[in-house]
């Protein structure tokens, strides 16, 4: 969507605060021994208290309020009661929701407790690359150049990117144009970021895989060559200068 009025901006700020705070509190609530369903139910309760409705449930009838991906799961992990969180796990929580006709999306990967498996460098690279990418976004910038930046920064850090997952426009629905804000350079994409547009920008930084593949459950994505992936995501408004980060309260850069 494009922000055309003060009410548009206020609506986007309200739903972005809801998903941002839900993500932040879910990260703080997560404990070893807890099931993903327990963590997800807590997130669902938070959204409900804030008046928001789970976007994956509304849009896709997803079996959870949020997506919780653990270790080798790249994205769209089902928050089941059989998925038990353990010390040192690489966990990704993706929270998106709707409120009063406005939609927002954010996510973040983190290590639960002690970093026994040495995932923290991957997490830090993903956060750093997202921050750098967002700092370069303004009206008129080619979308493909942001993909080039993300891919180059990942390579410099010794990582790959997931090439078939992307950020996207958002606002009046969960996924809007532009649909392919990729983590890599696509010379065919001549689109540019537009001032006042709302977009969800996300990194998918990988240790081994370059593509995500859907599993038999119809939801969970795993890497085509194994390894681990860290994802971080903010929803923002494009300006002619520094973007307005609507989900800054999620604290993923802290």
pTM of the model: 0.97
| pLDDT tier, 181 (very low <50, low <70, confident <90, very high otherwise) | very high
Q: Name the strand (E) or helix (H) holding 93.
A: strand 90-99
Q: Per the annotation, does 168 bind a ligand?
A: yes
pLDDT of residue 32: 98
| pLDDT tier, 103 (very low <50, low <70, confident <90, very high otherwise) | very high
Output the average pLDDT for the chain: 98
Q: Per the annotation, does 105 bind a ligand?
A: yes
Cβ–Cβ < 8 Å for 16, 48: no
Task: Please write down the HEC assignment for all residues of 98-155.
Answer: EECCEEEEEEEEEECCCCCCCCHHHHHHHHHHHHHHHHCCCCCCEHHHHHHHHHHHHH
Q: How far apart are CA 154 and CA 208, in angstroms?
A: 12
For the segment 54-70, what is each residue's pLDDT rounded down to a tens digit? 999 999 999 999 999 99
Distances 251 to 1, 24, 80, 191, 212 between C-alpha atoms, Å? 24, 6, 25, 30, 26
Can you list the domains of the chain with their CATH numbers?
Answer: 6-250 (3.90.230.10)
Q: Per the annotation, does 76 bind a ligand?
A: yes
| pLDDT tier, 155 (very low <50, low <70, confident <90, very high otherwise) | very high
| pLDDT tier, 236 (very low <50, low <70, confident <90, very high otherwise) | very high
Q: How far apart are CA 200 and CA 232, in angstroms?
A: 10
Mean pLDDT computed over 97-118: 98
Mean pLDDT computed over 89-117: 98
Q: Per the annotation, does 94 bind a ligand?
A: yes
């Amino acid at each position: 969507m494009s922000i055309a009025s003060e009410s548009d901006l206020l609506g986007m700020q309200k739903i972005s605060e809801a998903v941002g705070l839900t993500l932040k509190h879910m990260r703080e609530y997560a404990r070893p021994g807890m099931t993903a369903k327990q963590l997800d139910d807590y997130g669902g309760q938070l959204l409900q208290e804030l008046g928001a409705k789970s976007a994956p449930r509304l849009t896709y009838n997803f079996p959870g309020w949020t997506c919780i991906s653990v270790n080798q799961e790249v994205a769209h992990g089902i928050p089941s009661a059989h998925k038990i969180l353990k010390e040192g796990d690489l966990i990704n929580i993706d929270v998106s929701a709707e409120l009063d006709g406005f939609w927002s999306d954010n996510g973040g990967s983190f290590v639960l407790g002690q970093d026994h498996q040495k995932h923290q460098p991957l997490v830090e690279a993903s956060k750093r690359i997202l921050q750098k990418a967002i700092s370069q976004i303004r009206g008129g910038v080619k979308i493909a150049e942001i993909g080039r930046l993300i891919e180059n920064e990942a390579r410099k850090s010794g990582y790959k990117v997931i090439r078939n997952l992307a950020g996207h426009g958002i606002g009046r629905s969960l996924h809007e144009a532009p649909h392919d804000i990729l983590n890599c350079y696509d010379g065919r994409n001549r689109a540019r970021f537009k001032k006042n547009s709302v977009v969800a920008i996300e990194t998918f930084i990988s240790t081994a895989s370059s593509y995500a593949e859907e599993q038999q459950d119809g939801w969970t994505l795993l890497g085509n060559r194994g390894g681990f992936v860290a994802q971080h995501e903010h929803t923002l408004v494009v300006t002619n200068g520094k973007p307005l980060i609507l989900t800054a309260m999620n604290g993923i850069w802290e």
